[in-house]
Chain A
Amino acid sequence: MNSTLNVVTSQEYKYGFVTNIEADSVAAGLNEDVIRFISAKKGEPEWLLEFRLKAYRHWLTLAEPDWAKVNYPRPDFQKIVYYSAPKQKTPKYASMDEVDPELLRTFEKLGVPINEQASLAGVAVDVVFDSVSVTTTYKEKLATVGIIFCSFSEAVREHPDLIKKYLGSVVPAADNFYAALNSAVFTDGSFVFIPKGVTCPMDLSTYFRINNKESGQFERTLIVAEEGASVSYLEGCTAPQFDTNQLHAAVVELVALDHASIKYSTVQNWYAGDKNGVGGIFNFVTKRGLCKGKGSHISWTQVETGSAITWKYPSCILLGDDSIGEFYSVALTNHKQQADTGTKMVHIGRNTKSTIVSKGISAGDSSNSYRGLVKIQPKAEGARNFSQCDSMLIGHTCSASTFPYLEVQNRSAKVEHEATTSKIGEEQLFYFQQRGIPTEEAISMIINGFCKDVFRELPMEFAVEATKLLSLKLEGSVG
């Protein structure tokens, strides 16, 4: 088992180290010149620079959202470094030999398989370090069946028509404060294109690493599955331990055409700050999938364990008739972590179906909220939604909240919402102990049981690792 994501999950926070590498960075601060600089660095076409500037100008008119149940010092956007890349001679690595050995050692230490020979599990990986994609594995092999899997910057250069067609088509540049910011300053990310009728032969994955103390990470992911195509995509992330907060504001767009299927799994393990809430990543992410075609299917599975603040709502726009949207989430908060996460399911097409399964686990002094919108538009005849939102509390000083929003504009729709709150308490643990099972293993088993409906959506070995990660994050929380 050697996949990127297993690596993210397999240990206590041992990813807190910093790589000392010479970086090519722009001075902190944001203005149109910085945006022009980023665009020039990437050798982008004029239309893309315009896209960025337009987003930036719109962003200036927006206020940071404050409706989420999270409290944090507002980032000073003029103190953030918007571009930071490991220094290199050429704008693109022609082969792995050109990559700084220090950088290679970093990923070795993280256990990310950037060398194809070493990658036993056969997962293709795109590796993003601060603002740039370092390498993408199995690119050639995937290309033989017509699949494009490359860094976003490369896609802009090599496949400008596809980028122009789909960029911002799901999350418009003006969508929200952080999406607008991302649209202005995004640096790299992954691009996936699965042509008509092709089933991607291996899991694709992107590994994100923030290294620079002052830099934000603003990556952009775009996945397009044409008619009848299907793909499973995994995302993992870590960051060094700093006593300041770093901003991560990504945008992920998925497009599924007729009968296409996209499965997007995330294990988020950004640095969460210390026990007293010092440091940690602010994770303000916009993820949205468009079920554009008939019978298309988009499924989000997320295991959120890191970040000081999480603000994230992977959503599905169910435009095509008979399309299906799914959201399976485990969000765990401990110590001073705060998470406000959930989904939006917007039913537009007829006979569209959505399923929401959210499992929130809060421990320590943390705050964990589920926020979800189910919207049935007037033409969504026969639409159906089922939502299950369960919260589990560990200890007495944490909190869990559920904010379900329902907007039903079609009488034939069927919407169900179930919610439960439970507590890992003395009695439960005593029962396990009385059968000879030590507390730590008992917690692991109870949590695993609680999250089962979500974990079974994850790739097999990944689910095992996710269980371990949750247990580690909860160590010492009970008793």
Chain B
Amino acid sequence: MLSIKNLTASINGTPVLNGIDLEIRAGETHAIMGPNGSGKSTLGKVLAGHPAYEVTGGEVLFEGQNLFEMEADARARAGIFMGFQHPIEVPGVSNASFLRLAYNKKAEAEGRDELDPLEFDDFIHEKIKVVAMKEEFLDRSLNEGFSGGEKKRNEILQMAVLEPRLAILDELDSGLDIDALRVLGDAVNKLQRADRALLIITHFPRILEIIQPQFVHVLSGGRILKSAGKELALELEERGYDWVLEEAAAGGAR
């Protein structure tokens, strides 16, 4: 589904990704872990097409298409979704109308029927149950005055509405208490299918107890230092990141 080969990228001339290789197949869940400043979030943003980053080398194919030939909005309509670590607030734009526009843009791209406000109302009322969101949040301005947890809930609601092929969730667990994390984690699990994939970006392993990955990658200095199965997450929880970095340094010296 997603094939990343020797990807390098920079921001304002400073290299931040230094040769990433990663293969994600349909049905898989991958976790990207690493210390702060390792380039985890950057990888997500580069894949989603954030304009601040410049791709300086390598290749990314999504469903066989060259990702870098698509604008960020086209990537989204093609099925790439990013759950933001810090969703922005947009005063005056109602959450419901934003969700409907996003839904209809994707429906239009896929040749499905767009939903009018009444149809969307029925549709969205089913969806909010999945993330246990209160109805009033639909009428409020997009993320405005939402708590950190409510913003994350709203991100997963958007994911449920758009049903992406590949969802990149950046630090979903930050700002969430354990109960909210369980609700959202379960919602994400329910959305996972054989033809979809997940890329979970996280600093802490606890989210991976709920959304269980088959593959865990440790990123540092813009490179993947270690890849293994989900047991790696447990090991990181016990031992922290330093040993991976040391191991990699030793390996590099060898």
In the complex, the answer to whether A436 meets B76 with C-beta atoms within 8 Å is: yes
Interface size class of B (residues with CB under 8 A): 20 to 34
Task: Please tell me if A172 contacts chain B, counting CB pairs below 8 Å.
Answer: no
A interface footprint on B2-42 (CB within 8 Å = 1, 0 otherwise): 00000000000000000000000000000000000000000
> How far apart are A203's CB and chain B's nearest CB, in angstroms?
26
Q: Is A428 an interface residue (CB 8 A)?
A: yes
Contact code string B133-176 (vs A, CB < 8 Å = 1, else 0): 00000000110000000000000001000100000000000000
Is A449 a contact of B141 with CB atoms below 8 Å? Answer: yes
Q: Does A430 contact B (CB under 8 A)?
A: yes
Known A-B contacts A427-B88, A445-B98; the reply to A436 vs B93 at CB < 8 A is: no
B84 touches A436 (CB 8 A): no
Contacts of B52 in A (CB 8 A): 426
A436 to B77, CA, bound (A): 5
Is B102's CB under 8 angstroms from A435's CB?
Answer: yes
Is residue A24 contacting chain B, with contact meaning CB distance below 8 A?
no
Give the distance in Å from the alpha carbon of A449 to the alpha carbon of B88 in the complex: 14
| Cβ–Cβ contact A436 & B71, under 8 A | no
The CA of A392 and the CA of B82, in the complex, are separated in Å by 27
Give complex CA distance A479, B142 in Å.
22
Give the number of residues in A that approach B within 8 Å (Cβ atoms): 24
| A431 within 8 Å of B (CB atoms) | yes
Task: Let me know if B237 is at the binding interface, CB within 8 A.
Answer: no
- Cβ contact within 8 Å between A433 and B72: yes
A residues 7-31 with Cβ under 8 Å of B? none
Partner of A428, one of B48, B90, B109: B90
From the candidates B82, B87, B92, B109, name the one contacting A448 in the complex (CB within 8 A). B92
A441 partner residues in chain B, CB cutoff 8 A: 101
CB-CB under 8 A from B98, the residues of chain A are 435, 445
CB of A171 within 8 Å of the partner chain: no
The answer to whether B73 and A446 have CB atoms under 8 Å apart is no
Asked whether B49 lies within 8 Å of A433 as measured between CB atoms, the reply is: yes
Contact A437 B93 (CB under 8 A): no
Q: Determine the chain B residues whose CB is within 8 A of the CB of A232 once the complex forms.
A: none
* A439 within 8 A of partner (CB): yes
Contacting pair A430 B72 (CB below 8 A): yes
Of residues 86 to 118 in B, which have CB atoms within 8 Å of A's CB atoms?
87-88, 90-93, 97-98, 101-102, 105-106, 109
Spell out B's residues near A (CB within 8 Å): 48-52, 71-73, 76-77, 81-82, 84, 87-88, 90-93, 97-98, 101-102, 105-106, 109, 141-142, 158, 162
* Additional pairs, 16, CB under 8 Å, beyond known A445-B101, A446-B90: A426-B52, A430-B48, A430-B72, A431-B87, A432-B73, A434-B72, A434-B82, A434-B84, A435-B98, A435-B102, A435-B158, A437-B73, A438-B71, A439-B73, A445-B93, A448-B92
The 7 A-B pairs at the shortest CB distance, nearest first, are namely A449-B92, A449-B93, A435-B102, A433-B72, A436-B76, A436-B105, A433-B73
